[in-house]
Chains A and B, each alone.
Chain A
Amino acid sequence: MKYGFTIALMIGGSVTLMAQKGNVKGIIRDGAEVLPGVSVSLDGKEGTTTDIDGIFQLVGVDTGKHVLKITYIGYNALEYPVMVLQDQTVNTADIQLKENGHQIDEVKIVGNYRQGGKAKSINMTHISDKTLTVLSSELISKSPAKATALVIRQAPGVTVRDNKISLRGTPAEWTTSLLNGDWMPTADEKDASRVFNFEVFPSSLIDYIVINRTVTPDMEGDNIGGVIDFISKEPVAEKTFNLDISSGYDALSNKPLYSGSFLWGNVSHNNKFSYTVSGSYNGENYGKDAPSVAYGTNYNHSLARLQLDRVRGLRQTFGLTAAARYQFTDNFKLDAKILGGRMIEDEYRNRTSYNWSDGSGARIRLQNSRGIYDHELYGGALNASWNVSEKLKIEGHVASYYNRFQFGKTPQAANGAPNGNYTIEYVSPLLQYNDMIKTNFFGGPYDPNNSVDPNAYGYKMLDIDNPYGTGGDHYNNIQPVYQQIDGSGPLTASDYYLSSVFADMNVTKERDPVVGKMDITYTTSNQLKFKAGFKYRRKEGERNISFYEYRLNPVTSPKIYLSDQQTTAFDPGNNYLREWGSPYKGTFQPVLTKSEMNNFIGQHSADLVAFPMDINNNLFNQWLGSTYAYTENVAAGYLMSEWKPSYNLTLTGGLRVEHTSLQQSSDTIVTDENAPLGVNASPVHIDRTYTALLPSLNVLYQPDLKSNVRFAISRTFHRPNFEQTKPGYALYVRDQFLYVFGNPDLKPTYSLNFDLNYQHFWGTKGMFSAGVYYKHVTDHIFKTNQIDESQSVAGYTLKGYANARSSYVSGVEVLVDRKLDFLPGFWNGFGISANASWSYSRMQVPGRSKSQPLTDQTPLTANASISYEKGRVSTCVALNYTGAFSTELNLFSDPNTHEVVHDNTDYDIFMAAQYSLDYQFSFAVSHHFDCYILANNILNTPYRTYIGVPDRPQLTEYYRQRFYAGIKFHL
């Protein structure tokens, strides 16, 4: 309160001082389009820039004649005379700028939507008070990709993994993705991170994207990597109708793709009301060939399982956005946006699992699964913008969003069974694997004379882990060798019999019922602006993971043989893992037909007894911690100023305070002799509050109109996600055999960030930028992967979360984006764009003697593209690369010595390097029609994780290529 009073005094004081002067304001446009980021200076001295609505305002101008010098990259400069009268505001109304080199008659590809050209984005990048990149809608529509995540991958320093976006190769959790300035609630099947998964939201609904590398106090403080703001379709400036219809082919599933989107928008006659409605539908058949290897123990790299997964599915995405704006007066407007997205994946999975180590003896397990993955997101926001006076502007924002994941209903959920991802599993009779080598307990050479460990252990090892160096299976050709334990002949479908039927259940919801924000800007002079505001966000979420199992009826219990079911081939085209030379060709047993799978439970209801995961189930404790709920209230306030001590120097700085209050509950297990199993669930609750003080300063120095030097220093932070802070018993991830223990004492990560950046602009033809950064990070949150005896769970991997001691990330970023218009004739249609972000990071891990690179931090990410645009043709080929990085550390400690067994990274989990190549070609048939083709994932490089070294893979996923051909129509 005290400070508020002081500010009010300052504001009041300055108002009285300004009494003898006048003001100037106006809107700058190109046709109907408003131009944000236009430099407007008074007689080439003090100046301002237009805001997102193209509006500029100069205050405290001496009375008399002046000339407004208006400059905009890519446009002809303009001088505009004004006469300023005392205590009056000169309204220049619309000032029209013309693009330089504008060719009127040429048929140009304008992209899907005309709004938001490249010039706009370059100018916004140029004049911003912080280091940012704007991806224009033009660029988005020309991107050789449809998915939002793939589109943004083209942007400098951007990495995309699992549909999550990270900047500068930093951990994905550090990069905040916003939609229309709001943090979307998240609700994923497995991933509990706060990072929004844009899969549910197609790029055709995105207008433009702002990528912030440095922050100002009016932005969310929860970001260490940066902030990416996706702006959904804005109300149009003129009547607009766009249509985009395409069809394609997925090379793995060998099935079609369909995609369509539209945008309709108009403006009322009095120009006060404008709106846009856009919608999209994508129907994609997809496939995944995914071999995975599970390794045995913390003491050696023996193989426990080889799982060969073949996944086929249909992913349907529906998206709808609507935006409307009503300009009540020149000084007051309301904006509303609503959005909704739904993604339904209907997926069939067949798995052949060779289990060298199996609780019920060495076997082969055959799984037939079907699940409907149902994601839903909706919400809306209302913005009010009120220019109270020439100097005072108030903006208000309220929003509410909802996000949910659940498994949809399949015919398997018969007779009152719950919705879930159902698996029908067959097993072979017991096997003797004959491909084991004798090692000692630690995977070293077996030595019968070793006094400590004279025992021989039979383990299946990869070639690289063979202690005798006598070869073995390479990771891309692991061949199990086995025979039936009783000496019977080779296995056929008549040997496999039903082992169990089970369903994974998952309902995850998160909503932000109330997001409220208010920003007050006060312009004391053209050199000094103050801004203050607050934000409140409430978040409510819950996650309910459970399991539903059928066991054979013990009274009837006949064996149900695979050969008695309707089956079909596992790999009809004989091209499973063609990438590895089809090493498993001819080895697969048949799989259940879809109808057999769907009707299985109904048909065998007499043989199956249902075991819900309730208090009567003796695995009850496994799932106990998999249900949790939370509410988080965040209240933030800030005060900042923008000061221009000279025309080419801008300092923006201030302080943001974010107060977080978290209430979270889950269950733990307690003894209860009255309960059927002697144990019961007992709720545990945590209540945590913390306050983050986040000062920041951005300095912009413009040695000339074409160059920027930027320096920023800021403190930002990162909140742990709700899985990470979960109290109570572990969350159980069944299909990965792991327990995830939350750590309610986990601290938020803080980072002190330094950024130095040089930008040079070649008009609209491109830019060059180079920068360095350094982040001093405390309490980095990393995932551990260890066995903890005290938790009384066994046979599984235990994961947990911990804070690292002080860590740092430093990096260099370079970006070149240039249209090669200086070349002659045909060649001047070419353009290149390349960027790279190198980083060096170290973190000190508790229990390890040496520091190591930060988890989830890639050392190099690079993008390069070559484009050609001339006449009716526009084409682009884009390459992306992300270097390998560690994701989880094996900090298994010896139960006797309590020391970490693996001091090096040989047992850590890594994400392999990934590169991808995409291609786009588009041809303008007329002013109204473009046709195009897209080719995605041309190199078909797999998504891979590995243990220690790349030749010891954990999960490998191949998706193969995807092709689209389509037409676009625009008015």
Chain B
Amino acid sequence: MKKLILATLAVVALTTQFASASQKKKVMIIGMDGVRSDALQAASTPNIDELIATGFYTYDSWHLGYTVSGPSWSAMFTGVWHQKNGVTDNSYAGSNFGQYPYYPHRAKEVKPNLYAVQIVDWAPMSTQVTNEGFDQKIVRTENDVTAVANAAITQLQNANLDAITVYFAKVDNMGHGSGFSPSNPIYMAAIHEVDSAIGRVMAALHARPNYANEDWLVLICTDHGGVGTSHGGNSDNERHIWWIGSGNNVSRKQLVALQDPGSYLMPANPVNPVLLAKTPVQSDIAVTAIHHLLSDDLDSAGFAQKRQQWDLDGKSWLDSLRTTSDPVDTSHPPTAIGKTNLPSMDIKVYPNPSSGWTSLWFDGGKGNKEVSCQVYDVTGKLVLQAGPSAMVSQYRMNVDLSPLPAGQYFVRIYADDKIATKPVILHHQ
């Protein structure tokens, strides 16, 4: 009996891998308010790390408008900037959601039977937004991470669910309370707490009875960073942010954009359309989500036409997400603002246990030093080696353990003149 199930699962897994065209397209957008890039990298976030290690991520997303929640999430969910959606602050005064609605509304214009749900714990995202196309808008009390996750898990049990937005306010509130900083243990603990909730939500997603026949695109994003105890300004710490794409058909890679595309609010740094076309920005989130939801119904040309008809500012990264051929661009370090607060060469291994890709987090010192990684099995035999290569990041090295058989290993890192070793457990899914 057990063997039969395993065999079935294996078939399902194969189907997942190769039969995406027939799978129902679905989207989950997870919003974390106010998470700085460097804090996300330094915080203990095993669940997000796993998504990064297995999926698509960028630390080079830029904010082109008001680095405040209302306008930011509006840009992300409508696919247009504040000039069009009219949202310039948290009162949502002057909003124009009639003309520029949220992504579920747009998707339903093509597929009216989609079922979409939003769960937030910051009420204005629910009360001040209209015409958004959600079938259900759930609000939880502010900062209640567990309640938001629980509501999402409940919704994920609905087989008809097609699109879901899950939003957590807590990290931002903690930043306001005591500082947006990797040095602030309160802020970092909040990121960890939300990460744990994301882990539970992802587990519920994977547990959907018909998951094998569904093609989920999961986008995890933040609205802005922060400086001191505030945000709203034009500093890189507020504007230079991140997002993550995950899904069975999402390829593993880092999206790198070398330059700031500019801002609509910075006269000295106006938006550069050439750079904008190559750079991930917030309005791309909705457009990518809509593209995914409609990818069985519209071909590229059809979607391009819709995008023009709807007057969307954002661009879709869907094709790039699905393309495995792009090499991981290692020429550019992830955009951390400074070093983490990890003690020298204290490495962290996430996820651990790992199912293949794992990230090694360490502080190898300054400068582009050489780094190499060796993996030993329990008998001390060298089973895998990477490098030496120029240190691409002061923080992280990703290693693919999937060729190895399941079991316990030791990962050793040589960075410059420092060395560290950590055990890691590998089990295949």
Contacts and interface: CB of A to CB of B under 8 A. Distances in A.
- A-B interaction: yes
Contacts, number: 205
Interface string A445-466: 0001001111101110000000
Contacts of B127: 551, 554, 609, 611
A557 B92 contact: yes
Interface stretch (A210-218, A755-763, A788-796, A929-937): A788-796
A452 B363 CA distance: 11
Nearest to B127: A551
A606 to B, nearest CB: 14
Which of B97, B129, B268, B338 is the most central at the interface, judged by chain A CB atoms within 10 Å of its CB?
B338
A895 B189 contact: yes
A669 interface: yes
Interface residues on B, range: 35 or more
Contacts of A299: 178-179, 184
B146 to A, nearest CB: 9
B182 A455 contact: yes
A430 B89 contact: yes
Interface string A281-320: 0000000000000001111001010000000000000000
Interface in A495-509: 497-500
B38 A455 contact: yes
A557 B229 contact: no
Nearest to B96: A557
Contacts of B190: 794
A448 B338 contact: yes
Nearest to A452: B341
A507 to B, nearest CB: 24
Given A618-B139, A678-B147, A361 B68 contact: yes
Contacts of A430: 66, 68, 88-89, 232-233, 265
Which of B91, B122, B267, B363 is the most central at the interface, judged by chain A CB atoms within 10 Å of its CB?
B91
A603 interface: no
Contacts of A363: 232
Given A559-B93, A789-B189, A792-B143, A360 B178 contact: no
A360 B69 contact: yes
B140 A618 contact: yes
Given A299-B178, A795-B174, A361 B66 contact: yes
Interface in B309-338: 337-338
Contact of B338 (A454, A559, A794, A796): A454
Contacts of A359: 69, 90, 172-173, 176
A83 to B, nearest CB: 84
B70 A621 contact: no
B229 A787 contact: no
B124 interface: yes
B228 A499 contact: no
A830 B242 CA distance: 79
A794 B170 contact: yes
Interface in B269-311: none
A400 to B, nearest CB: 41
Contact of B141 (A297, A362, A442, A669): A669
B179 A451 contact: no
A678 B181 contact: no
B141 A621 contact: yes
Interface in B218-240: 227-235
A10 interface: no
Interface string A423-460: 00001011110001000111000001001111101110
B314 to A, nearest CB: 21
Contacts of B176: 357, 359, 794-795
A440 to B, nearest CB: 8
Nearest to A454: B338
A100 interface: no
A907 to B, nearest CB: 13
Contacts of B338: 448, 454-455
B210 interface: no
Contacts of B126: 618
16 contacts: A296-B179, A430-B88, A432-B233, A436-B228, A485-B66, A500-B91, A617-B123, A618-B122, A618-B126, A673-B154, A678-B151, A792-B145, A794-B174, A795-B174, A895-B185, A896-B185
Interface of A: 296-299, 302, 304, 355-363, 427, 429-432, 436, 440-442, 448, 451-455, 457-459, 485-487, 497-500, 551-552, 554-555, 557-560, 609, 611, 617-622, 669, 671, 673, 676-679, 787, 789, 792-796, 894-896
Q: Which 4 pairs between the two chains have the least Cβ-Cβ distance?
A: A361-B232, A454-B338, A794-B173, A357-B230
Interface of B: 38, 66-70, 88-95, 97, 121-124, 126-130, 138-145, 147, 150-151, 154, 170, 172-174, 176-179, 181-186, 189-190, 227-235, 264-268, 337-339, 341, 344, 363
Given A552-B93, A621-B142, A679-B144, 12 more contacts: A357-B229, A359-B173, A430-B233, A430-B265, A455-B337, A500-B91, A554-B97, A554-B129, A619-B141, A794-B173, A794-B186, A896-B185
